Chains A and B, each alone.
Chain A
Amino acid sequence: MFDYTFQWRPALRALPDMFAGAWVTFETAALSMIFGVLIALVLTVMRQARHPLLRGVGNGWVSIARNTPSLFQIYILYFGLGSLGLHVSSWFALLAGITFNNAGYLAENFRGGLKAVPGTQMRAARSLGMSAFQAYRMIIVPQLLRIVFYPLTNQMVWAVLMTSLGVVVGLNNDLTGVTQEYNVKTFRTFEYFALAAVLYYLIAKLIVGLARLLSWRLFRY
Chain B
Amino acid sequence: MFSTSLTVNDLLYLLEGAWVTVQLTAWSILLGTLAGLLFGLLRALLPRASLPLAWVLDAFRSVPLLIQFVLFNSLKSIVGLDLSAFAVGCIVLGVYAAAYFTEIVRGGVLAVPLSTRRASRSLGLSYLQDLRFIVLPIATRVAFPGWLNLVLGVMKDTALVMWIGIVELLRASQTIVTRIQEPLLVLCIAGLIYYVMSLVVARLGARLERRWQEND
Interface residues of A (CB under 8 A from B): 1-2, 4, 63-64, 66-72, 75-76, 79-80, 82-84, 157, 161-162, 164-165, 167-168, 176, 179, 189-190, 193-194, 196-197, 200-201, 204-205
- Contacts A/B (CB < 8 Å), 17 sampled: A1-B80, A67-B152, A67-B194, A67-B199, A69-B158, A69-B170, A75-B174, A76-B187, A83-B181, A161-B63, A161-B64, A176-B66, A179-B67, A189-B70, A196-B67, A200-B67, A205-B62
For residue B191, CB closer than 8 A to chain A, the reply is: yes
Closest-by-CB residue of B relative to A160 is B64
Q: How many Å lie between the Cα of A71 and that of B156 in the bound state?
A: 9
Q: How many Å lie between the Cα of A2 and that of B81 in the bound state?
A: 10
Chain B residues closer than 8 Å to A200, beta-carbon distance:
62-64, 67
* Contact indicator A201/B59 (Cβ below 8 Å): yes
Q: How many Å lie between the Cα of A165 and that of B65 in the bound state?
A: 9
Q: How many Å lie between the Cα of A164 and that of B71 in the bound state?
A: 14
Tell me how far the C-beta of B177 lies from the nearest C-beta in chain A, rounded to whole angstroms. Answer: 7
Scoring B70, B79, B183 by chain A CB atoms within 10 A of each residue's CB, the highest score goes to B70
Tell me how far the C-beta of B101 lies from the nearest C-beta in chain A, rounded to whole angstroms. Answer: 16
Known: A76-B188, A80-B187. 19 other contacts (CB 8 A): A67-B152, A67-B194, A67-B195, A68-B156, A68-B198, A69-B158, A69-B194, A71-B170, A72-B159, A80-B183, A83-B182, A157-B62, A161-B63, A161-B65, A190-B78, A193-B74, A196-B67, A200-B63, A200-B67
Closest-by-CB residue of B relative to A157 is B62
Q: Given the known A-B contacts A68-B156, A72-B159, A200-B62, are A79 and B183 also in contact in the complex, defined by CB atoms under 8 Å?
A: yes
Q: Given the known A-B contacts A67-B199, A69-B194, A197-B67, are A4 and B159 also in contact in the complex, defined by CB atoms under 8 Å?
A: no
Q: Given the known A-B contacts A164-B66, A167-B66, A193-B67, are A80 and B75 also in contact in the complex, defined by CB atoms under 8 Å?
A: no
Q: Given the known A-B contacts A67-B194, A72-B159, are A197 and B68 also in contact in the complex, defined by CB atoms under 8 Å?
A: yes
Interface residues of B (CB under 8 A from A): 59, 62-68, 70-71, 73-75, 78-80, 152, 156-160, 162-163, 170, 174, 177, 181-184, 187-188, 190-191, 194-195, 198-199, 202
Chain B residues closer than 8 Å to A157, beta-carbon distance:
62
Closest-by-CB residue of B relative to A190 is B74
Tell me how far the C-beta of B171 lies from the nearest C-beta in chain A, rounded to whole angstroms. Answer: 10
Q: How many Å lie between the Cα of A2 and that of B64 in the bound state?
A: 27
Tell me how far the C-beta of A28 lies from the nearest C-beta in chain B, rounded to whole angstroms. Answer: 13
* Neighbour of A67 across the interface among B68, B73, B182, B198, CB < 8 A: B198
Q: How many Å lie between the Cα of A75 and that of B159 in the bound state?
A: 11
Chain A residues closer than 8 Å to B182, beta-carbon distance:
83
**Shortest 4 CB-CB distances between A and B: which pairs?**
A164-B64, A204-B62, A69-B159, A79-B183
Tell me how far the C-beta of B55 lies from the nearest C-beta in chain A, rounded to whole angstroms. Answer: 11
* Contact indicator B159/A71 (Cβ below 8 Å): yes
* Contact indicator B191/A71 (Cβ below 8 Å): no
* Contact indicator A68/B195 (Cβ below 8 Å): yes
Q: How many Å lie between the Cα of A4 and that of B170 in the bound state?
A: 34
Chain A residues closer than 8 Å to B67, beta-carbon distance:
164, 176, 179, 193, 196-197, 200
Q: How many Å lie between the Cα of A176 and that of B71 in the bound state?
A: 12
* Contact indicator A72/B80 (Cβ below 8 Å): no
Q: How many Å lie between the Cα of A157 and that of B63 in the bound state?
A: 10
Chain B residues closer than 8 Å to A79, beta-carbon distance:
177, 183-184, 187
Q: How many Å lie between the Cα of A80 and that of B79 in the bound state?
A: 40
Chain B residues closer than 8 Å to A66, beta-carbon distance:
152, 198
Q: How many Å lie between the Cα of A190 and that of B68 in the bound state?
A: 10
Chain A residues closer than 8 Å to B170, beta-carbon distance:
69, 71-72, 75
